[in-house]
Structure 1
Amino acid sequence: MATTADVLTDGFERIKETVHEAVDGLTQDALVYRVEPGANSIAWLVWHLTRVQDDHIADVAGTEQVWTGQGWRDRFGLPVNETATGYGDRAPDVAVIRAPAALLTGYYDAVHEQTLRFVRELGDGDLDRVVDVRWDPPVTLGVRLVSVIAEDLQHAGQAAFVRGVVERTR
């Protein structure tokens, strides 16, 4: 019988697979390609989904974000605030997110490992813990984790779509 940890691990593993399929082997030019001037690039999509996962998991796990705690912010060297996750970014903000494939997937993989360390210890009873009282109803850990999986899979799928466009136009 699958456990809570098994199901969550499977969800996060699917994100990792999709991120790598969308990014691996692409040049930096391909990673910053935008279908139209206001669209998101693969680099931005993957950076954003990773930042959101990093931010949200660190918050519920009570740990430091991988972005700052493991030096990924410095490795990226982006002109963004250290707390930036991409939420609310506009076209000019998307344009500054530039990174090679190995950096994007390296950061994602580091966040993924921290995520799995957290979710592998969870049991059914943990999912009802309230983690955000700013909403009505308050957000539980289970809802937060499903939200992260859903958002990350959406953005990873968008990145895969842009990759398909890039490969067809080059």
Structure 2
Amino acid sequence: MKSNELLLDAFGRIRETVEAVLEGLDDGSLGWRPAGTGNSIAWLTWHLARVEDAQVADAAGLEQVWISQDFVGRFGLPLSRTDTGYGHSTDQVDAVQAPAELLMEYYGAVHRQTIDFVQTLGGEDLDRVVDTRWDPPVTLGVRLVSTIADCLQHAGQAAYAKGLNQGQR
């Protein structure tokens, strides 16, 4: 198996989990927050999409889908254009409201851009340094793996929240 095939499989698992989580959810379920203060499914899905979008676009030298396809305008959130959700307050988490269809459309567009980029990669590309602000500097391979890990964690959290919410009914 080639390294990019392994990465394609991992990013595909994020997409599959996001699709399964969003399936059948109404706006109330998307906005429900475990224990009243946990992150909502809408916020978790939006955040993981923003993380993948921002991290992959930066590493690939591309514009973020959030901006290039005007998802920033379509979502209409009271946040800065470049906000990805890091460090959000409880009020900011509450502000992230969107229907499942829009969340899936945005994640789908991000996923397509990611896949298009990853398909072009050879093993030697993964050693390219993409961020010198860290010691040691971050390579493309490390950035992609950390993005996958972060997004899968958030997708799992969203799946868990969905299960908790359905158990409340």
- Shorter-chain TM-score: which interval? over 0.9
Distance 1:152 1:143 in 2: 14
Distance 2:147 2:93 in 1: 20
| Matched-pair contact (CA < 8 Å) for 1:37–1:91 | no
Structure 1 runs, 4 residues or longer, greater than 4 Å off: none
Distance 1:17 1:141 in 2: 23
> 1:131 aligns to what SS in structure 2?
strand
> 1:162 aligns to what SS in structure 2?
helix
Deviation per residue, 1:103-144 (Å, 9 max, x gap): 001100000000000000101000000000110100000000
**Structure 2 partner of 1:134:** 133
TM-score (normalizing by structure 2)? 0.98
**Letter matched to residue 67 of structure 1:** W
Deviation for aligned residue 1:25:
1.3
TM-score (normalizing by structure 1)? 0.98
**Structure 1 partner of 2:57:** 58
Deviation per residue, 1:66-89 (Å, 9 max, x gap): 001001111111111000000111
Structure 2, unmatched stretches of 5+, are none
**Structure 2 partner of 1:96:** 95
Deviation for aligned residue 1:37:
2.7
**Letter matched to residue 15 of structure 2:** K
Percent of matched pairs sharing the same residue: 55
Matches within 5 A, 1:1-170: 2-170=1-169
